[in-house]
Chains A and B, each alone.
Chain A
């Protein structure tokens, strides 16, 4: 029995390590490739050990960019992506928490109708309503602007539903105690509901930031100027060059850079997320 347990543990660990290797290898490869020179990759003679061009490649990637396809340094794209992802995440959270607050705590005419209208938009992601959305954005002169990049993606039924579900689990007595304690609707929202929603906000922020960061189709349509393109689109453009050799080290460096912000967000928010989970309790 005892030996059996030991063997089972080793097998389990082996499987886990295998999984890690499968997931981590492409990432490792991207990092290694970004430190080698373009010629050896193009020859198919890429070494699996890091090369000596790390600083050179990253400097070129961030501040200069590829010579041909994207015509802008990746630093600009990183900035664009960051602004877009942050605006989408924060905007979605702000709008949906407010609308959920209205739907759950206020009695107004057509309340449920409005709730169902919000609900129905779940079935209408950007891809489905892309033409009308584009038309509106164009008519409002939002092309090639941060507003155009983010606004049409901000309204979020999912987040609204999530907050609504959470608010419904908050005991009514808390609201009543607040009312007796002289807190109006705004005070209740700021002093009680928002602090209680901290964990939900943190979790949503992680999900929505990554959602925003990975946007492809919409930025592709709405931006035409080089200095407005996002990093996800940048990578794509770098790969498909018709006339010149693909600069693989730069592409790989860009990919690595594109991975970093979501990783940072996950790592940072995870702490807050877990702490929040431990601390709050109704």
Chain B
């Protein structure tokens, strides 16, 4: 078991593109760290640097108190699950799992015992003699996991392991991965661009954007106190409403708001009412543009006042009773639920 520590890690690809621009992350022993961010932000690059598949341009990566910058992937004591699983197509499931152990010269009985144990945990015992092409997507995913588990590595690395599965299976596997990781207590780093996956799996959530870290924290911390407007809009579905304060009538309602230029309100923190805002809260007049009903909740899309130019505001409403299209409604939020961001996009503490 091990900590993973990244110190001012940078990566410049040959050709001069700087994919990682100085990242510091510390993952404690047995923790589940999720890297999340939009496509192209450098998540895979960072993970592959930890794996040793990509060289480190500068900075240090430490696995279990050992700087691994120049150590081969095989000697870093890590196991990786790839997005397309990367199973060896010509080997049986058993051999796929046993291959890494054989290469390390482990005695046969021990290999057998480890593979059977992993197969039992993952419920793929019946598949051991099949080739990967004879498996369904979900089964392949399990084999890929099995290949990682048998190694009993210090660190698991996952690069979007669930993105090739259908929605239902994805949720099931997500729960299973989490259970498995708890049970094995192996430090894990998990890359995804699915924010729901990120929220549910993570002990520590690392939100990345354009090669830098926007925020590190527990999922709820990140959710409740987003450090930047980027995080605010990236984490949470539907995203947080961000309203520019410049020239807005809201400035008056807010009273003293320091240097804030952007106001953020989560859709669920807004309530539709006929009364007024009450104790120092905020009231937005909206004209309903669209309504989405998803069953237990509905989302009301509206624009403040009549100016078409302003951003759309989303309000979450419990149940199915929503105002009609075109109706004018009042959405209110209490003062404590407001997020304020400065000109540089950073959070301002009220």
Contacts and interface: CB of A to CB of B under 8 A. Distances in A.
Contact of B51 (A174, A180, A181, A279): A180
Given A173-B84, A174-B86, A281-B89, A191 B74 contact: no
B89 A180 contact: no
Contacts of B133: 281
A196 B89 contact: yes
Contact of A187 (B87, B90, B103): B103
A181 B100 contact: yes
B103 A183 contact: yes
A181 B86 CA distance: 12
A132 interface: no
Given A196-B89, A196-B90, A281-B133, A180 B84 contact: no
A181 B99 contact: yes
Contacts of B78: 180
B104 interface: yes
Given A182-B74, A281-B133, A177 B103 contact: no
Contacts of B87: 177
B210 interface: no
Contacts of B276: none
A195 interface: yes
B27 to A, nearest CB: 19
B316 to A, nearest CB: 40
A26 interface: no
Contacts of A191: 88, 99
B302 to A, nearest CB: 46
A183 to B, nearest CB: 5
Nearest to A177: B86
Contacts of A280: 89-90
A176 B82 contact: yes
Nearest to A176: B53
Interface string A250-282: 000000000000000000000000000001111
A6 interface: no
Interface string B71-105: 01110001110101011111000000001100110
A173 B144 CA distance: 12
A176 B74 contact: no
Contacts of B73: 176, 179-180
Contacts of B89: 196, 280-282
A124 B27 CA distance: 60
B90 A177 contact: no
A277 to B, nearest CB: 13
Interface string A155-197: 0000000000000000101101101111100010001100110
B103 A181 contact: yes
A35 to B, nearest CB: 48
Contact of A174 (B52, B72, B88, B104): B88
A191 B133 CA distance: 18
B103 A176 contact: no
A81 B26 CA distance: 68
A45 B262 CA distance: 106
Contacts of A171: 84, 86
A182 B82 contact: no
A182 B104 contact: yes
A180 B90 contact: no
A180 B71 CA distance: 11
A178 to B, nearest CB: 8
A21 B88 CA distance: 47
Contacts of B52: 179-180
Contacts of A279: 90, 131
Contacts of A192: 88, 90
Contacts of A281: 89, 133
Contacts of A174: 86, 88
B74 A179 contact: yes
A280 to B, nearest CB: 6
A191 B51 CA distance: 22
Contacts of B51: 176, 180
Contacts of A180: 51-53, 73-74, 78-80, 100
Nearest to B100: A181
Interface in B57-79: 72-74, 78-79
B84 A177 contact: no
A196 B90 CA distance: 7
A113 B7 CA distance: 39
A183 B72 CA distance: 11
A195 B90 contact: yes
A173 B103 contact: no
Interface in B23-46: none
Contacts of B74: 179-183
A44 to B, nearest CB: 59
A180 B73 CA distance: 5
Given A180-B80, A196-B89, 9 more contacts: A171-B86, A173-B84, A174-B88, A176-B82, A180-B53, A180-B73, A181-B103, A191-B99, A280-B90
Nearest 8 pairs of A and B residues by beta carbon:
A181-B100, A173-B86, A182-B74, A182-B103, A177-B86, A195-B90, A281-B133, A180-B73
16 contacts: A173-B82, A176-B53, A177-B80, A177-B88, A179-B53, A179-B72, A180-B52, A180-B53, A180-B73, A180-B79, A181-B100, A181-B103, A183-B103, A191-B88, A196-B90, A279-B131
Interface of A: 171, 173-174, 176-177, 179-183, 187, 191-192, 195-196, 279-282
